[in-house]
Structure 1
Amino acid sequence: MKKWALFLLMFLLFILLACNDEETNEHVSSDQEEHEKPEVRTTPSESSKPKTKPLPEMTWEHLVNQEEGKLTANLDVDEKMSDQLVETLEKEITALTDETNDPEQIYRGAVDLLASSYYQTYFEKASTYDPDFEEPYLPDPEIEKKEGKKASPKKAFILLDASSSMLLRVNGKIKMDIAKNAVQRFGEVIGQDSDLSLLVYGHLGSESSEDKQLSCEGIEEVYEMSPYDEETFQASLNSFESKGWTPLAGAIKEAANMSRDFTEDVTVYVVSDGVETCGGDPVAAAEAFTKDSKERKVHIIGFHVDETAENELKKVSDAGNGTYYPADNEEELQDTIQKRWLPSLADLAWAHTKAPGPWEVLGKLEELEKHTNKLTEVRQLETERLNTVYRLIRDHDLLSSEAREDLKALLDERDDEIRTLIKNLTDEKKEDINKQADDIKNRVSEWRDRMYELRDEERDHS
């Protein structure tokens, strides 16, 4: 009996020890699993994500002011990315996608790295392009009729000041260029009824004291007294530049010497922007020119002169039995040279050539496209660089397929919007070119019709 009791006691003790070991093993296993469980990187919930500004509206203001890309700042306008630069880009994009998987953030980062700074340069050239059609000279003979002016003289001298002050600018244009253009048209008008001579002074030497004698003695007839010939007269205007001093008195004396034996009416027209600087007396020269004939005159056109110069030039025109005409800008200078002139029937038959022809308009459109095509080249190269970002992300599986496609959509949208901006600008500028050409054509047509009317009126009255 005692043996059975001892056996039972040992069995119960064994059972208790076994249960205790199992609980201990379970506890150890649980702790071990807790320590060995891998750490999982969590992403912030939608509500905890930082809010970003909406993408900027694609406008020219935005494009021309965008900062150049950090990786493309030193690239020329048509330079592609080198392999080394692509490797650097890959590192930048990998780091960016480690920080965020938001397509908009990655798009912004790509633009910060690769944006082009050349939009500003070529937008300015395209947006400010002006066809600069030659303004047709359409003289109005009714101006002279209303003012009771006499017909053009039989002999005319045009004295053009080419001193160094004519290199200054008026409203952005060089005074000498404005004056030459005005004198060209003046010659066309006066040349209808008069022989012409063009004398230029101040075009030799320089404004330095060492060159004063050379400049003051440099008075040259660049267009000999003869009937007006447009090509030859234009060539004479292109044969000199502004350089030196202002021998106004000497130029008037030279015209007097050249016209000493003329029996016809002789008039001198001086186009100048300043006073005598060579020590001469232009008032005395003008008096001497007109003392033997009341039909001789010295008219002065003062171009953009100050009050002191204007007073001096007025004295010259008064002494020369002429008139002083002030002209402070290009438009006033053109208005000043209008003279009484009824164009011939041949002139009217060819009046349409005063307006831009189809080939000239086409040439201006092609000039515009040189600038807008540059904008297109900038867009294409920038888009190619940005698409490199997409390819790197795709090839290295840096984003989910959904995020990749969202990024591609943003890149494509940017390219389409810039393409539209360029197209709209091109269409707008083309419309402006055609409008300017049509405006000139309409004015020429109206002028031609009015000239026909005046010829008919003059014929009826004769």
Structure 2
Amino acid sequence: MKRYYYVLIIIFCFILVGCNSDAEEESYVNSNESNEIESEEGGESENETGASDEEKTDDTTNASEENFFSDLPQTPNSIEELLSLPPGKFAGKTYEEQQEEIEEVLDQFPVSEEEISDEEAEKYWLKLVGLFAEEYPNPQDVLEQWGGYSINPPEIDGEEISFKENYNVEIILDASGSMANYQGDQTRMELAKEAIMDYAKELPEEANVGLRIYGFEGSNADSDKKVSCSSNELVYGIKPFNEKELSEVMDDFGPTGWTPLAEAIAAAKSDLAEFDGENNTNIIYIVSDGIETCDGNPVEEAKSLADSNITPVVNVIGFNLDHEGQKQLKEVAEAAKGTYKDVQNRNQLQDEFQKAAKIASEWRLWRAHAMGDARMENVDRANMMRDFRAEWADRYRNERHSLSEAIKYLQYEIDALSLDAALKIGDFRDERTNKLHEWKAQAWDDLSEVKDKDYEDAVDEIQGKYKDNASDDN
């Protein structure tokens, strides 16, 4: 009986436990259902709030992107526009030299869409240009660094000298009896012949030389005046110097007669008539030890000579003249718009002859130096142009490298650029590189044109001065 009682108690306990479990389960289910209902009831408010936050986030993102792309540089369409724009923040150094700083800036780039419009791609591109655009050298700076061409005529004794490439010399030598007088251990005629020969040897190879002798026949007696005054001859015609021929000619005559100076000056004008002064340097030396004795007017003939188209440079050399003789020959020189010099010995005579040779030598030397200087200036300018071109190429190579590295970082390292965006930005990069090539070539061509023209002008001026230099008086 007692055992039966215990069994009933145990069964009752199981029933109670089961009832409690069902109640708790129902309570838990009811609680969850209540929570779900509350959640559903409040869901509309949460979704509404969530949508508002998303819109706010989108607005903030758009505003941030607009601000990020607010300072884009202009796209240059000419070399002038390119040079007017400021360089990028990271210009002047390689990407690797400032990589950490660069990538801190690149990390701020907004993430592009998978497909991006050309306009949006251009924004990314211009932002990169603003970071990496190099400062390119200005061709105007190259022009300003160029030196000038120095084409100043040569000077002798502080005065500019005149000379034309076609060079003709005529020596008018007095062979009157007084030239037989001794000057030291030689006669005046011997000294004059030696000085003439030494002078002729120093003339330019292309020069022509002529020798006119007057008063070399008869004697200085009254009975021989007519024949002596008629002796006036171009014994060595205006032609290139031949030492043997000129020496033999001078050996054929000696001092003997009168002094037909006026007739000799008049004849010299005819001797040189074919050599106009516009294209020729015509030099006349008159060597005499006395005044006109054949009734001519040497001053009038000298004036006529100076006014002729041969426009000669007249040098009158008085050989140990007295006062009256010096006075007349100075007047001859003045009328001929030339110079007068009285000499006492061979050295002085040679010095006077050498002046003209020195003029020719100075001009030849000047032309050689001027042409050399012009060539050096042209070479210097070409070297500056090459430096300019090399600097320009270094700049755009560095710029392209930095841009390429930045695009790769944005695309592969931080996934800020989609493939579409990277390709379009790469197209912008290639377009800029092509323009930089074109502008470099344009600058080179412009500089070359100026350089070549300046050099040609300088050479023409040098040659012109060498060939055509002559004073206005001549």
Q: Same fold (TM over 0.5)?
A: no
Normalised by the length of structure 1, the TM-score is: 0.43
Question: Larger radius of gyration, structure 1 or 2?
Answer: 2
Normalised by the length of structure 2, the TM-score is: 0.42
- Bigger relative CO (Cα 8 Å, ≥ 6 apart): 2
